[in-house]
């Protein structure tokens, strides 16, 4: 393992410790209300127990790029980004009706077990998961504000939190409104920008930078780096969603197709498809019983139209833009090296 890899693992371990400590304490207080809340507590622990911790890393390096030193308080603040992500995952799985996440039942499926022998288990599981996601988002704000950094520092970042919540919800709503509609590349890119790119990369960087007192020029660098990298992250996710190994991604290859999601991959496929291929796509997209044969048909059309190669080109274009933004910025050597290394972590992955 390289030195960079060891440093990333060490940082992830620090974030994991902060999250475990916070979540364990909050679960104790939740169970103290009533032990019947244990199934929800189990899901809260499950959805926060692991992850790449990329969002925390971007937040932390936003702080360091602003000239601030390493400190446990900042790691704690950065860890709050992972609770935002956990909340988004739980809500997203409800919206998409995805049965599996990370190779295990999604929260809204697992929580049906708390309602064994009762009518309306499916609706009840979704309701319990919705509330679980709501609590996770509340926890994110709680962990952030109690991280130990001075109140004046936290006040600098408050507008960024408002923007994160507003734009994350906007992206989710736009995806719902456009699901099942005729695929359109620019429309799809707008959805991924607001639903994923901003809260994965740009907003964590902005929050860390604002906490550290970063000037407007630094925040502009973070946008020039974060937006294209965040889009590349989601474009890679779209490819993995269809062509990845379910054992690595932890979810079905058919989810986006069954849900007829407005992905850029599908939009590029549609634009390049022949009339006959579009007819096939219309018959398969959104079909609950898609099956392996239907999945293979869609994959073949995606390859034949050149859509897979085009998405790889879009990813490469955005990686170049992000890397160029770092190269041209006046950043400290550690911050520049870390942000450059995170490009690979975000885009070169199998899950």
CATH assignment of 3-347? 1.10.600.10
Contact 156, 139 (CB under 8 A): no
Helix (H) or strand (E) holding 146: none
Q: Which residues contact 49 (CB under 8 A, 6 or more apart)?
A: 20
- Rounded CA gap, 181 and 183, in Å? 6
Contact 193, 230 (CB under 8 A): yes
φ/ψ of residue 203, rounded to 5: -65, -45
pLDDT score for 351 = 72
pLDDT score for 189 = 92
- Rounded CA gap, 111 and 105, in Å? 9
**Per-residue DSSP letters for 61-114?**
HHHHHTTPPP-HHHHHHHHHHHHHHHHHHHHHHHHHT--EETTEE-HHHHGGGG
pLDDT score for 264 = 93
pLDDT score for 248 = 85
pLDDT score for 116 = 84
Residue-range domain boundaries for the chain = 3-347
The C-alpha angle 114, 117, 121, rounded to 5 degrees, equals: 60
Please name which of 111, 105, 148, 149 lies closest in space to residue 127, comparing C-alpha atoms. Answer: 111
Please name which of 107, 122, 135, 125 lies closest in space to residue 26, comparing C-alpha atoms. Answer: 135
Q: Quick check: helix, strand or coil at residue 45?
A: helix
CA distances (Å), origin 196, targets 28, 188, 277: 32, 12, 29
Q: Which tokens in the block code for residue 323?
A: 């890397």
Q: What is the dihedral of CA 60, 135, 263, 286, to 10 degrees?
A: 160
pLDDT score for 292 = 92
Contact 228, 321 (CB under 8 A): yes
- Compute mean pLDDT per 10 residues along the chain, 351 residues long, and list them: 80 97 98 97 95 96 98 98 97 91 92 88 95 98 98 96 95 91 87 92 98 97 97 94 89 88 92 95 90 94 96 96 96 96 90 72
Label residue 280 exposed, middle or buried (CB < 10 Å: 0-12, 13-18, 19+). middle
Length of the chain: 351
Contact 75, 15 (CB under 8 A): yes
φ/ψ of residue 194, rounded to 5: -85, -35
**Helices (H), ranges, 146-184:** 151-178
In the chain, what is the straight-line distance between the N-terminal and C-terminal CA atoms, in Å?
Answer: 19
- Rounded CA gap, 338 and 96, in Å? 34
């Amino acid at each position: 393992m390289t030195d960079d890899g060891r440093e990333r693992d060490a940082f992830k371990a620090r974030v994991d410790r902060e999250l475990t400590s916070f979540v364990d304490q909050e679960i104790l207080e939740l169970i103290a209300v009533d032990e019947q809340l244990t199934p929800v507590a189990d899901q809260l622990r499950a959805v926060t127990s692991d992850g790449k911790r990329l969002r925390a890393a971007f937040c932390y390096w936003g702080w360091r790029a602003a000239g601030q030193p390493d400190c446990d308080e900042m790691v704690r603040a950065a860890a709050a980004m992972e609770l935002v992500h956990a909340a988004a995952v739980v809500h997203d799985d409800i919206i998409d009706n995805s049965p599996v996440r990370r190779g295990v039942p999604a929260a809204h499926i697992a929580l049906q077990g708390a309602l064994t022998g009762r009518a309306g288990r499916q609706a009840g599981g979704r309701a319990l998961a919705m509330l679980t996601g709501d609590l996770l988002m509340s926890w994110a704000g709680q962990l952030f504000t109690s991280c130990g950094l001075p109140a004046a520092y936290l006040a600098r970042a408050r507008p960024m939190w408002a923007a994160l919540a507003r734009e994350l919800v906007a992206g989710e709503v736009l995806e719902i409104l456009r699901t099942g509609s005729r695929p359109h590349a620019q429309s799809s890119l707008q959805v991924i920008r607001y639903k994923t790119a901003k809260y994965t990369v740009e907003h964590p960087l902005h929050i860390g930078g604002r906490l550290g007192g970063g000037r407007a020029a630094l925040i502009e660098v973070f946008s020039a780096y974060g937006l294209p990298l965040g889009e590349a992250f989601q474009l890679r996710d779209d490819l993995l969603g269809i062509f990845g190994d379910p054992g690595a991604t932890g979810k079905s290859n058919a989810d986006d197709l069954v849900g007829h999601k407005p992905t850029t991959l599908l939009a590029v496929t549609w634009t390049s498809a022949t009339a006959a291929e579009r007819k096939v796509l219309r018959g398969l997209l959104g079909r609950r019983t898609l099956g392996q044969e239907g999945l293979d048909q869609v994959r073949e059309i995606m390859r034949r139209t050149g859509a897979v190669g085009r998405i790889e080109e879009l990813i490469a274009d955005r990686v170049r833009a992000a890397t160029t933004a770092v190269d041209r910025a006046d950043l400290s050597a550690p911050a520049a090296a870390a942000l450059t290394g995170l490009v690979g972590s975000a885009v070169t992955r199998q899950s």
